[in-house]
Amino acid sequence: MAKKLKPTLVIAGPGAGKTHYIIEKVINKLPLLEPHRFLAVITYTNSATNEIRERLNEKMVIPPNVFIGTIHSFLVRFILKPFGVVQGVLPEQVVYKDVSIKANDRKEENIIKSNIVKKGIVPYEKIVSLSSNLLKENKKIRELVSQRLQFLFVDEFQDANSGQFNIFEEVRKASATEMYFVGDPEQSIMTFQNQGSQIQTLDKRPIYKAINSGTIDKEYLDSNNRSSSTIIDFINNFHTSIIQQKTNKDNNTNNKVTFISDTYDLREIINSFNSICNDRTICENNPSTRFFLGYRRSTFKTVENEYGLVQKDDSDSNSIQLLKECSTFICEILNRSRTSIMEDLETDDLAYRQLCFKLVESIKSNPFINSSEIISLLKTNFKCDPYKSVHKKVQHNPDHIAEGFINKINLELQYSSSIKEIKDYHLTIHKSKGLQADAVLVIAKSKNELKKWLEIDKQLRFEDKQDTCRVGYVAFSRAKELLCIACLEEIDDELKKNLTLLNVDMIPAMGEKEKQPI
Ligand SMILES: Nc1ncnc2c1ncn2[C@@H]1O[C@H](COP(=O)(O)OP(=O)(O)OP(=O)(O)O)[C@@H](O)[C@H]1O
């Protein structure tokens, strides 16, 4: 009998090169990939998908039986498309979209969701449960999926929720897929996914279930190719499963982790951070990239123009991406699948793309175009009514969807022209995941938030359902050479003592008068 395939869980901290690891592994496995089977890499963000694709592309022509994409696109392609219609859980034509439902309770919401699925509108969050049910209830489907998948890689595994983990478990049980999960439990910040009552303490989350599972092999990567030794020593205080070693030989800076003290004023904090960056007695090298991080988007919003900070957003600005955005917008606003729109218009794929291109061009040529103008263009070109709703309790606001689309395209166009010159970004800590900068300023909005960020008691970190302590960890670990921390509220002596025990330097803020250039 063939040896049972055990998945491997690779636990790796920040800067360990998780993407690098996956790319190397994929390259090693490709010669073994059978032509009728697939190698799939599941990522959690579009930027990670693009990075893996680009980096593989540099080394080879990516074979057609390699899939790289988000968990939702993976489930649609490998489970819902091939088995959803034949099993009668989905109609022939479907559109997958974000849906907002005004229901009185959870039960009514679920009934509405099931009703609209029958009409071909599949809310994103249903993708996981529909796929999971198909696998769980049908052994044959499990086997077929596993036979089709020779290799499965999951990046950012700490972000997999229980529903997704159950799917990987079903595939594992079918025993034909070699699986690798790569992640960092300390960067598990699930509260962001809006999972409400489903939020669990860290030890109950899938990555910990996997760590404690006898059916999964474990590997630990303890290198950090990103940060200086002072920053690594600092973040090592917090990690619940790894003590990292510095491996980046080119990063020899020894800047101390710094707390900007004696001020709670945002402008004073920013001025002080910039002056530390410019002071060669404190910051050895001139940082060429700087991140300004806060929990909320609004933290730096009021000062972004004053300091020339740019809000960093997920975007990729090539024309294929723009066309994809446009097609998603059209399906979403019309509540129809791409295929059914094309069938009604009696056009082919090329003509459909030309129509999409027309919409993008209309925004390019007039950035001030408004939602009603876009909707009117859409009605003329696609001969459909965007105001037709699918269910009276499912919110459908075409003007809002159109505004979102116009903003997105404008942002991407603007981003593509400015990306090369901009070096200073302000972003939420959640958005900074996976990214890095030479110098990082992290601002806590309150002393309680800061206190949680600095928590070193492993048990309390485990129990933090809100993930506040891990959000701090993600922020701290973005820094390559200089890490500065500040707080918008006065901190007490206990916190000061904690900072000192963590070997953090306290540097008093400079006054408003001495405003520093970036
Ligand atoms: N094996 C390696 N050799 C040299 N440099 C590497 C290696 N792996 C990664 N790096 C570099 O180290 C830095 C951090 O890597 P990367 O961003 O891939 O880490 P990560 O594990 O994804 O971190 P995070 O969890 O914070 O997202 C990058 O500048 C990357 O180019």
**215 Cβ contact list (under 8 Å, min separation 6):** 6, 7, 172
Q: Is the CB of 19 under 6 A from ligand 1?
A: yes
Supply the DSSP symbol for 199.
-
pLDDT for the residue numbered 500: 96
Report residue 318's pLDDT band, with 50, 70 and 90 as the boundaries: low
At 74-125, the pLDDT tens digits run 999 999 999 999 998 899 888 888 888 888 888 888 899 888 998 889 998 8
Distance, CA 102 to ligand 1 centroid (Å)? 43
Residue 15 marked as a ligand binder = yes
Q: Which fold has domain 229-312+435-508?
A: Rossmann fold (3.40.50)
Mean pLDDT for the chain? 87
> Does residue 42's CB lie within 6 angstroms of at least one atom of ligand 1?
no
Kindly calculate the radius of gyration of the chain based on its CA atoms and give it in whole angstroms.
25
pLDDT in tens, 262-285: 999 999 999 999 999 989 988 888
Q: 184 in ligand 1 pocket by Cβ < 6 Å? A: yes
Ligand 1, pocket-test mutation among 21, 23, 221, 225, most atoms within 8 A of CB: 225
Between 15 and 392, residue with greater pLDDT? 15
Q: What is the rounded distance in angstroms from the CA atom of residue 153 to the CA atom of residue 182?
A: 8
Q: Which numeric CATH code is attached to 8-221?
A: 3.40.50.300
Measured in angstroms, how far is the CA atom of residue 375 from the centroid of ligand 1?
A: 44
Model ipTM value: 0.95
The answer, yes or no, to whether any atom of ligand 1 lies below 6 A from the CB of 434, is yes
Take atom 26 of ligand 1 and give the residue whose Cα is closest: 14
pLDDT score for 511: 62
Q: Is 512 exposed, middle or buried (0-12, 13-18, 19+ CB in 10 A)?
A: exposed
CA distances 370 to 358, 376, 389, 398, 400, Å, are 15, 10, 21, 12, 11
263 Cβ closer than 6 Å to some ligand 1 atom = no
Say if residue 19 carries a ligand binding annotation. Answer: yes
The residue type at 375: I
Q: What is the pLDDT of residues 332-389, one digit of tens each?
A: 999 988 888 988 888 887 788 888 888 888 888 887 889 999 999 999 998 888 888 8
3-state secondary structure labels for all residues of 397-461:
CHHHHHHHHHHHHHHHHHHHHHCCCCCEEEEEHHHHCCCCEEEEEEEECCHHHHHHHCCCCHHHH
Distance 436 CA to ligand 1 centre (A): 9
Residue nearest to atom 16 of ligand 1 (CA): 17
Residue 388's identity, in one-letter code, is K
13 known ligand binder = yes
Supply the pLDDT for residue 483: 98
Q: What is the pTM of this model?
A: 0.80
Domains 8-221 and 229-312+435-508 share a fold: yes
Pairing label, strands 245-246, 310-311: unpaired
Ligand 1 centroid from CA 379, angstroms: 47
- 3-state DSSP call for residue 360? helix
CA of 16 to the centre of ligand 1 (A): 5
The full set of domain ranges for the chain reads 8-221, 229-312+435-508, 319-415
Q: In whole angstroms, how far apart are CA 107 and each of 80, 99, 128, 347? A: 24, 16, 18, 41
Cβ(20) to ligand 1 under 6 A?
yes
CA of 433 to the centre of ligand 1 (A): 13
H or E element that contains 273: helix 266-278
**Any known ligand binding at 14?**
yes
Name the closest-CA residue to atom 5, ligand 1.
225
